[in-house]
Every structure is written in C-alpha cells, then in structure tokens.
Structure 1
Amino acid sequence: MHQFYCGRLQASFGISPSRLLALVSPFKAVLLFAIGPLLDAAWFGGWIGSYNWTLNAATLALCTCVLAIVLNLSQYSVINLLGAGTYQALSQLKTAAVVVLGSLYFQGHIDLRQLAGTALTISAVAGLTSCERAAITKVLPPFFDFVSAEVDCAALLSNAAIDAGMARPTPPPLAELSQRELDGFSYGGRVQVVQQEINNQRYHSGKAMNPKWTREMIDDWTEQCRQGRLPGSYGVTWTTQLNEALKMVVKEGDSVLVIGSEYPWAEACALSHGAARVTTLEYGEIQSLHPKVQTLTPSRMRERHAEMIGVFDAVVTYSSVEHSGLGRYGDEINPWGDRQAVARAWCMTKPGGRMAIAVPWGKDKVEYNLHRIYGEVQLPHLLANWKQVWQAPPTKGWDNRLWVVEK
C-alpha cells in the first residue's frame, strides 16, 4: 500500500523518478541509521559492532547493499509505470536473491520452502508485468493518432485573418454562428459544442493584462523555477511538471518561442533551463525590460513573417491555443484558430526542434467561447505533423495535460 500510494502521489504532482529518489533518500537514510541499530539490538540482543565480522560475512553484506541499491534504483525508475502488485513483487526479488546467493556463498542448505518462495516471486514478477504491459504502453508514444497535413508556411504566417481582431464588442452567441463555423468547431458533428460564455478579457491589439515585465521580476521567477517553487499561473504542481518537460525541450543557448502569456512564468522557466533568448507571442502589447525576453503581437509577427520561418529551437505554450478563434480575448471567430496557431509554431520551429504544449484534456468538447477540451478527435489535428515524444502523467483536479512533441 505504501508503494502504491507513492506511485499515486508521483503521478499527481508530476515528480520524476530521479526527483522522487532525491527527495526520499535522505529521509530513508536517517531512519535506517537511527532506528535500524535499535531494532537490531532489541531483536537479536546485540549491537552491530559487537558481531564477529568474518571476511565472508562482510563480503556478503557489501554485495547485499550493492544489490539493494541497484534494485531500489530500478524500482524508482518504474514506480509510475507498473501497478502496485508488480512493484511489490519486484521488491521481493532482493530478498530472493539474498537467500539464494547467501546459501550458495556460505555453502548452506536451501530447503524446499525457500526454493518455492523464490520461484513464486520470480513467477509473480513475470506474470504481473505481462498483465500490465498494456498499462505501461500508455506512457510510451504514440499517445494519439498521427495526422499529416500540407502546410504553406509563408501563406500561414502572413495571413492576417487567422488572429484578426473582432469588429463587434462581444462575440456572437452560439446560436448566431453560421453553419460553416459550427461544422468547423464540431468537426462535422463529431465534437460537442456548448455555450459557456465569457467576455470580460478583451485586450486584442491593446494592452495586455500585465503590460510591463521587469527584469527583477523575471530574474526572481527564473530562480524560483530553478528551485522548484515557482507557483506560476496555475500552481507549483503544474510548474514542476512543465520543468520536467522543459528538460526534454530547451537546451543551453536555445532561442525559445512562448505562445500566449499573461505573466512571464513560462519564460522564466525557459531561461532557467539555459535559453539564450525568449520571444513571447501574445495578443496584447507587453513591454519587456529583460534583455533576454522580447515580445511580439501577431501583427508585428506578420510584418516579419519572411524571417520567422524555422528560427526557433523550441516552443512552449501552456493553456493558450485552446482559446484561439473563440473571441474570448477579442479575436475574430475562427473555428480553425487553434490548429492554425500550432501549425504556425511548427513553421517557426527548426527541424528537430521540440514543443511543450499543455491544453485541457478529456472528452472532446468546445465550450464556446471559453475554451476547447481535447480528446481523440481534436488532439491529433491540433498536433498535426508533430512527432510525439512524451506525455505527462495525469494530475488531480483540473486536467491540463502536457505533451512534448518534435518537428
């Protein structure tokens, strides 16, 4: 139950096996050295130093320690891939190995019960691992269907209609959308579209929600992200998960594009991973006072579209593209806005470059004009042409799923 609970916590908080090992090892070491000798003395009536250590005994103890370390490392590497049954069976291999090797080393006797227990342990590991093979494949790509599409990058980057501002003060209600727009949002009736109106965040082509980013703020957030304590816009859990993804996305000296950012928390995390320059693409005007962070509006990006093809090493977008084309931020209604935004990022990324993208995940739905929820219908089209690399484990509460993909 303890190991199962650890696996659930790791999945909930997006903690990698190496991070989990680093967190619990000091605690376990203190418990081992503080409580172990006391239990040893109480149970066997003597302290560890009072034993008569022969060369054979010391050698076996050393081998046992090495075996335990290797096995524990292997356990932590699969703690979130295997079920509790397989995990516990795997942990018993250490005991089985010690019994067998110890008996052989000391030329002792192995009775039938010990042999039966060892055989049962090995059989349990093999059987349970085989039964859970389907569960393991869920964390290995592909996570969803692959879609290939032709993209005219020059036309896409220069097209002002993709993210044009809305002429009317508020988005039209769902009932007033044209049949073409409804078909576009619903993928020809395969995706549910419901009214979920929100109109209080209009700043397309105007000032952003946080129009000035100071160097002090970004430097402070960069350090917080490096230390794993930056709350960002959604909480430390999701920032920690993004940090795990950025280890696979951003390299030292990279030029990084961030799509959609009210506050520069994703930018700060990119800098903490060694990015040399971060460019933020955002509807509203933002003034960045940090020398490594610059901002662009879609209109300014279009003015430079010829020089924007294949210039970024990496892309980061967190809970942004699901709003594109819904009018929530003053943009024109565009059923294909999310797909065009991600395709535009594909055009601006160098071959082999990677993108970390987080969007709501669940049963396909468009909650107009709040956001889209991506499932097996919408997600493959959203990430058309991108090679799947990694999928974050699910988190408790609001499921904003994170993926790493590669051009």
Structure 2
Amino acid sequence: MSNTYNITIIAGARPNFMKIAPIIHAIVKSKNEGHAIDYRLVHTGQHYDKNMSGSFFEQLKIPVPHTNLECSGGTQAEQTAAILVAFEKELMANPADLVLVVGDVTSTMACALVAQKLHTKVAHVEGGIRSNDWTMPEEINRLVTDSITNYFFTTSETANKTLRASGVKEEAIFYVGNTMIDTLLKQRPNFKAPKIWDELNLKEKQYIVMTLHRPANVDEESQLKDMIAEIINHTKDLPLIFPVHPRTAKILERLQISHSRLHTVEPLGYLEFNFLVERAKAVITDSGGITEEASVMLVPCMTLRDNTERPETMTLGTNELVGTNPKNIQKYLDKLFAGQWKTGQDIPLWDGKTAERIIAELIILSDA
C-alpha cells in the first residue's frame, strides 16, 4: 500500500450518486491542495436505470465510475450474493485503506461485509438512520451495515443517539450533515423545466407533485386505487404531476386509473424533477430522499408511510407523516388548502458543506 490514503467509494443506485458526488469533489479538492488522498469509484450496477446515461454524470459533475460490477436484477438474496462475489474480486485486485458506503441499498450492506472480511475499514455515510420497520429491506441493510462499520458519518442528532444506544463509541461518530443536500444546493441554480411545464402551462404553487414506489403502496391494487382517488378528490382543480416508474404505470393501466387532472409522466432527470418540486404547492410521496429535498426547499410534503427514518424532516422540516390509510389524506390536504401548513426551518449542518467535513475527518483518520 502506498502512502496515499486510498478510499473505495460504493454506489449502487441513482440516489447513491447524488450522495457521493460532493464527496468525490471534496477528495479531488483536497488532493489538489497536496493531501495524499485518492479514490476509486465502484458502481455495483444494482439498479439498472436508463436515466443513468453520460448526461446524468455530466449534469451532476459526477465522474464516470472506474468500474461497473453489473450486479442488477434477481431476488434480494441473488443480488446480495452477486455483489459479494463481484466486489470481493474488485477489492482484492484494487486494495483500499477504507471502503466508503452510503445510504441503505443492498450494495451498502454487501460491500461493507466484503470489506470487513478482507480486513478493510468501513465508513458509513448516513449511519444511524432507522425506520424501525423490519419489513423494509433498507432497514435490514442499515442494521447490518451499522453493526460492522468503523466510522459513522451522520445526518442528525437522532442518528447519533441511535448509534450511542447500540453501543457505538463516541469517537466513531462524526456528525457532519447530509451530502444529498450538498448536491441539491449546488445544483439548485441549474434546475430546468421539464417538457410538461410548458405542455400543461404549469404555474408556480398551482400544481402538486406525486411519487409512489413502495411495494406496500403500489402493489396492493385496492390501496393504490383508494390513495389516488382520495388525492384526486381533495386537491380542488390543481393538476397532479405523477412521474411513474414503468412497473407502477402498468398497474395504473390495469386498474384503469385516469383523471383529467392526473398527469403521469416518465421518470424525470434530477434537475427537471427538482425544478417541479421547488415550484409545487406540495409534494405527496413515499420516498425518504424527496422529504429531505422538499424540506430544504420549504415545500409542504406529505409522506404516505407509517414511519420515517428521517424524523428531522418532520420536527424541523416541512414534512408530515400521513400514514398508509387513504382516509388520512383528506385532513392534510384540507390543512394545506387552508394555508395552515407549518413553515420549515434550517436543519443543522444541512448547509452544502457536509462532504468537506467528511474528507477533513478522513484526512485526520488517515494520519492517525
């Protein structure tokens, strides 16, 4: 191993790239300033995403990965096994001082496991996050990853408390903020209108953005039908913009769910989607990441889930946990239209400088 501190960075799905982009920028900056630090970016290929083209990397100034392990498809077990086998070969061929994993996808857990078995230290960005819902594969990934992590980079004081309660020593916890927000704040000036903005002649604060992708919401056909009916019935005359995953699109078609105000569109690019969110009257979602982005942009957000691993979006942000009972939706929409939605406030350390703090800590660790 050379004197350079070599970090292997893992990304498995599109949201991971938003989280690692600022970390890579901070490493390059630090290297240019004379620090002996370098990185290798490994894309496990966990999610095949046709939107992850060259333009995606270009738009977000993300370097193209050094390698793609191409471990897409299969069951949870098949995918985990494929990543374990492929990443073990990768790490043996390209040893590192540290493997850095982000978020809570299968790649996060599998690569942490490989690293520890090859006696390589692991850093987990977004460590300590919990939904306490073991039916979510992501929750299992978080629990396993955090049980074998050496350094935890956390987004909130809640995460710090969770880690302390599980026996993690204080010196392993680094409260740094949220790298997803680094990307959001950096890219905010570059947001651009998607085609539907002009096609529907959308106006600021005069439409609602929807996203639904969790199996509990979209695979239960009667549940999906009831949720969308409630949303349509209580959003007055506002257009509903619904970027739809192809799988969900098929279900909507089969259920014959359609309405003149419900506009389904293909999944949007990062800059186009956040352009819509920033200008929306509200967002209705079951995604964790979108609740963070909406909170920072002070856009009212309703989460159609019974739990959240990001409580700070509720205590400080603009997010409310509506639950999965469709009958709950009306009272939150009534509150929105009555002008009674809470105003968000700044979330500590979600300031666009998280990645710089992470790399500053890693440089100290590398010298230790």
TM-score (normalised: structure 1): 0.24
| Greater RCO (CA < 8 Å, at least 6 residues apart) | 1
TM-score (normalised: structure 2): 0.26
Q: Which has the larger radius of gyration?
A: 1
